[in-house]
Amino acid sequence: MKSHPFQQVDVFTDTPYRGNPLAVVLDAEGLADEAMQRFARWTNLSETTFVLPPTDPAADYRVRIFTPAGELPFAGHPTLGTCHAFLRAGNVPQALGRVVQQCGAGLVQIRRETGHAAGERLAFAAPPLKRSAPSPMLLAKVANALGLKAAQITAAQLLDNGPVWLGLLLADDEAVLSLRPDHRALRELGQKVGVAGVPPAEAAPPAWRRAAPSQAAPLGGRRDEDAPGGGLLIAKSNREARAFGGGASAAVAERPSAPQVDVEVRAFAAPVGVDEDPVTGSLNAGLAQWLIADGHLPARYVAGQGQCLDRDGRVFIERDAADQVWVGGHSVTCIEGQVTL
């Protein structure tokens, strides 16, 4: 056994302990598959990653992604968190403003966005999506496990971008936040489920409408959601009150600059040992590609996830002029040191 540089990173947040944690083992060359899997089980986080030298000359690094149950070809929050740790460790990518990650799903482009109030933000290019209509039987069983009636489901799609999610668009955000799933039933179905709901129009102006199109900055620049104030404290209190059935938590006062969300998301992954994931990059990527393409959401929006787990994740979505969807978020390192493996 030997020591390896290690970071535990909180992803999709600029405030420690409010996003989705990720364990990152840097300089993992020489570790056996069994050792990686054992450590991933020990951390008991939704994912643990291991950074290795790339085998493709176009890549800056290679990453292997493990859940407590097995290895994944791709996942969103491990992509951003690993890239954050790679850069923080002093590594310099081949191209200015761009990092290329090699993983089981191939090469993933990650761009570095500067000019935000909370510091640098990373965004990965959403991988190609295969989507299809779920079977009526699967949809009925999942709806029953979630405690939903058919009329509450506006649209549904199977979303495959490496991980496979059943995506459900519900009538509104309150329907999403009030779900109390039967996780055992979802585990037995063997299907990961992601749900999304858009706040009613009268609740608050969505983030993408707070600036006129002529004022909107490019994805790499500062936008309104990066600026403090703007009445967002009240809007966030409303979200937390719906999620917890009471008043806003003390975290509201800590983050008055948190951007208002355009869609509320939750991810249920009992089949892979995670009843509910705090903030999920792969799901948000698939949801964005589907919901933008079908006209349910605009080409630029902010997703919120994690309220029901006392988290406050923010996922920044944009489809560019070439129809590429980018999934962005901040990351912060909470633990840094060495791990013996």
Structure tokens at 304: 């919120």
Residue type, 305: Q
Structure tokens at 193: 């489920």
Provide the β-strand partners of residue 316: 302, 328
At 200, is the secondary structure helix, strand, or coil? coil
Kindly write down the DSSP assignment for every residue of 230-274, as one continuous string.
TTHHHHHHHHHHHHHTSSPPTHHHH-TTPPPPSEEEEEEEGGGTE
CB distance 166 to 155 below 8 Å: no
Q: How far is CA 13 from the centre of its chain?
A: 10
Q: Which of 29, 47, 120, 318 is catalytic?
A: 47
Please confirm, yes or no, whether 47 is among the known catalytic residues: yes
Number of Cα atoms under 13 Å in the Cβ half of residue 51: 27
Torsion of CA 65, 194, 253, 121, to 10 degrees: 50
Read off the DSSP letter of residue 225.
G
How many angstroms separate the CA atoms of 104 and 110, rounded?
16
CB distance 317 to 325 below 8 Å: yes
Residue type, 201: A
CB distance 65 to 47 below 8 Å: yes
Q: Which residue numbers are catalytic?
A: 47
